[in-house]
Structure 1
Amino acid sequence: MSKYIPGNQKHLSLEDRKYIERSLNNGSTFKDIARFLCKDPTTISKEVKLHRVSDWYHKGSFLNAHNFCIHRYHCRKTNVCRKIILCNIKCTSCPTCNQTCPDFVKEQCNRLDKAPYVCNGCPKAIHHCSIAHKYRCDAVFADRKYKECLSSSRAGINMTKHELRQKDMVISPLIYQGQSPYQIITNHPELDMSVRTLYSYLNDGVLTARNVDLKRKVKFKPRKVHKTQIKDRTVFQGRMFSDFQKLELDHFAEMDTVHSSQESKRVILTFFLTREKLFLAFIMNRCTKGAVRLIFDKLEHQLGTYDFLILFNTILTDRGSEFGDPDSLETGSDGIIRSSIYFCDPMRSGQKGGIEQAHTMLRMVLPKKTSFEFLTQWDLRTIVDHINSTPRESLGGRTPYDVALDNYGIDILKALQLRPIPPDEVNLTPKLIRFNH
């Protein structure tokens, strides 16, 4: 890179490539483009030449003939191919002369052999150019080729075939003898690989031994994982479980989602108030950040901001991607901070054990592999009422509804559309919903 250009040391983005395409269409030079993007001119030159699109024979132009010879305008040859005995047709009107004529010279443009290497910005490129083989700069095509190259360059294994064969001669016989990958890596440090890498090689089939040759591999089924984890790690700053423990709260709310069967994308957003053991559930059509935000806004509208703060002042949840935008969930429609959200540690669902226990009661009515496609909020509200009308030993034999009634009053429970169920009518079986339908 030139010492006069302070580059940002980053790859070109789609917006950078769109700017390059627009600039070339306007006739700008590589130096002008590089100066604007803070890149070296050779970077722009290599980008254009490497990712340009080849337009062989532009069908929209009348001047682009099938014959690509530079002599086609004044050539008078006939029957050069000798395939037809009596042929009086000029070879310039026949595309086969390009392969058979010894005097054929392909027509080329000097603009494509030096900067800018493309037809962008050329006034004759579209309607007045007779050259068949053209190149153009297309930002979307160039960005796609760049990403394909970036992906393919990182695929495969980082060693030669000879090195792989030498490692395979050590690993595969020991796998056949019943040794585990950890045992092999521990006893043979000269292999210079981790246990995880060896498992990956066995899984990808690059070694003679396979997954089925491992002692316990065939006994394990692939783990079913519904949720995708939050990728942006910055959202956890100040919201870790260790930060939550410092608050030393005696009551708070826990939040989670319950997924449907694979045929349906609908999910249930659940809340659990730890002091009253009160369970709440809301149906969502998609498991997205926006769908969770809509539930929060709806609850704040029903309860009011003050009552919402009383119930959901502090929320503990897991690291599902649907909770990946805590700032929007914590801020109400009026810009008032309505809640504080904290996240459990990875793979530690027991840190919010109250809501996990409530899910077991929910699954009594909606067993696993049940589709939520035709489940309504009315059905879900019925299930919640029956769960909240079940006495709990931790509450001294009282129901969560009765405890919440004493702590919050009837107005909040009516806003949440909760109602008590007589003790002898409580039903926690799938018949509860089937009966209603």
Structure 2
Amino acid sequence: MDSLYSTMNQHIKGKHLSFEERVIIQLRLKDGWSLDVCSNRATTAGEFASSRDVVCTKTLYNYVDQGLLGIYNYDLPEKLKRNTKLHRIRKNKKKLGRSIEERPKEINKRNEFDHWECDLVLGHKTKDDEVLLTLSERMSREFFIIRIPDKTSVSVMQAFKELQRQYSEHWNDIFKTITTDNGSEFADLSNLEKASNTLFYYAHPYTSCDKGTVERHNGLIRRFIPKGEAIANYSLQDIIDIETWCNSLPRKILAYHTPDEIFERELDLIYQAA
């Protein structure tokens, strides 16, 4: 990525990037942002001059393909691993509770805050390794990473009880529904319904796309903790830093705002109404 400095002043026919634009993009790429986010977040934040046309995302990717920016496709975090997968709903797996088919269709639109997805991220897959419990709010894309001792239902339940204590009287307003899979580690979650108004829904067997938001965020974790690497090798501060990075990453679907910005806005509305 440092090679971008050597091409800062290289002229590109037609539209071209200013020195300032090149610096901004180079710095943001080092933070793990995509080209689209680099350009549009900078525009939203007023880092690019409003009086001139900013090079569009497609043009930026064309510049990379043409070798005009001093960076390459393998420098871009997602471009080389995108593919299309066929998803099938497979049967013959136990049901732990309320099916996702019973979940209100309005939740699919992501217009309402307080609907979450939940999953686990494993490291070395040994009994003595720790596990990451992950939750993502569907509208804001806020992402929680909670370190737990193992993948047992007891550890998962304990983490949720701690989270419930943290948000105390606002729990029901912030966590209206939680969607997860049919893994045995989530077998006891429906018991939380007895102590709150939160409703739990279980995805179709072997259908990760039913909770695509949290799956997508789990993929972001893998930028920092590769598959097969022990979670125990990472400190609590490492996990906090990963969570902070995820929630500070501007998203195109959020008009280049960050999950933290949307999440804090929604929390303010809930606290003010209390």
Relative to the length of structure 1, the TM-score reads 0.38
Would you say the 8 A contact 1:266–1:285 is kept in 2? Answer: yes
Displacement of 1:406 in angstroms is 1.3
Q: Equivalent residue for 2:216?
A: 357
Which one-letter code corresponds to 2:166 in the other structure?
Q
Tell me, in whole angstroms, the C-alpha distance in 1 between the residues paired with 2:238 and 2:192. Answer: 26
CA distance, structure 1, for counterparts of residue 104 and residue 124 of structure 2: 35
| 1:410 to 1:390, Cα distance in 2 relative to 1, 3 A | farther
Corresponding residue of 2:88: none
For residues 241-296 of structure 1, what are the alpha-carbon distances to aligned partners after superposition, in whole Å with 9 as ceiling and x for unaligned? 21014564634100000011134431100000011110001011111111111111
Q: Is the 8 A contact 1:269 1:292 kept in 2?
A: yes
SS at match of 2:219: helix
**Residue of 133, 153, 177 corresponding to 1:269:** 133
What is the root-mean-square deviation of aligned Cα atoms in Å?
Answer: 2.5
Equivalent of residue 242 in structure 1, options 101, 116, 120: 101
Q: Which runs of 5+ in 1 are unaligned?
A: 1-229, 413-437
In structure 2, the partner of 1:407 is: 266
Matched, 1:390 2:249: yes
Name the CA shift for 1:315/1:411 in 2 (closer, same or farther; >3 Å). closer
* SS in structure 1 at match of 2:156: helix
Deviations 1:65-94 (CA, angstroms, capped at 9, x unpaired):
xxxxxxxxxxxxxxxxxxxxxxxxxxxxxx
Shift in CA distance, 378/410, structure 1 to aligned 2, threshold 3 Å: farther
Q: Residues 375 and 328 of structure 1: is their aligned pair in 2 closer, same or farther, counting only changes over 3 Å?
A: farther
Distance 2:268 2:107 in 1: 25
- The residue number in structure 1 matching 2:199 is 340
What one-letter code is carried by the residue in structure 1 that aligns with 2:217?
A: A
Task: Map 1:78-97 to 2 at 5 A.
Answer: none
Task: Indicate the SS of the match to 1:301.
Answer: helix
Contact 2:178/2:199, CA 8 A, preserved across alignment: yes
Q: Which has the higher contact order (CA 8 A, sep 6+)?
A: 2
> SS in structure 1 opposite 2:118?
strand
- Counterparts of 2:137 and 2:107 in 1: how far apart (Å)? 16
Paired residue for 1:259, among 109, 122, 128?
Answer: 122
Q: Report the CA distance between 1:362 and its aligned residue.
A: 0.9
Give the letter for the 2:246 counterpart: I
Change (3 A) 1:338 1:281: farther
Aligned pair 1:314/2:172, yes or no? no
| Large movers: runs of 4+ above 6 Å | none
Q: 1:231 to 1:396 in 2, by over 3 A?
A: closer
Give 1:361 deviation, angstroms: 0.9
The alignment status of 1:372 with 2:231, answered yes or no, reads yes
1:369/1:315 CA distance change after superposition, 3 Å: same
CA distance in 2, matches of 1:411, 1:377: 29
- State the shift of 1:403 in Å: 1.0
Distance 2:107 2:263 in 1: 22
1:294 to 143, 148, 158: 158
C-alpha displacement of 1:411: 10
Question: For residues 313 and 405 of structure 1, what CA distance do their matches in structure 2 show?
Answer: 17
**Cα distance change on mapping 1:410 and 1:376 into 2, 3 Å:** farther
Change (3 A) 1:401 1:247: closer
- Asked if 1 retains the 8 angstrom alpha-carbon contact of 2:117 and 2:180, the reply is yes
Query: What SS is found at the alignment partner of 2:201?
Result: strand
Shift of 1:307: 1.7
Distance 1:380 1:308 in 2: 23
C-alpha contact (below 8 Å) 1:273/1:311 kept by paired residues = no
State how far apart, in whole Å, the 1-side matches of 2:94 and 2:136 are: 26
Question: How far, CA to CA, are the matches of 1:328 and 1:378 in structure 2?
Answer: 31
TM-aligned CA deviation for residue 360 of structure 1: 1.3
Q: Is contact 1:293–1:328 with CA below 8 Å preserved after alignment?
A: no
How many residue pairs get aligned? The number is 176
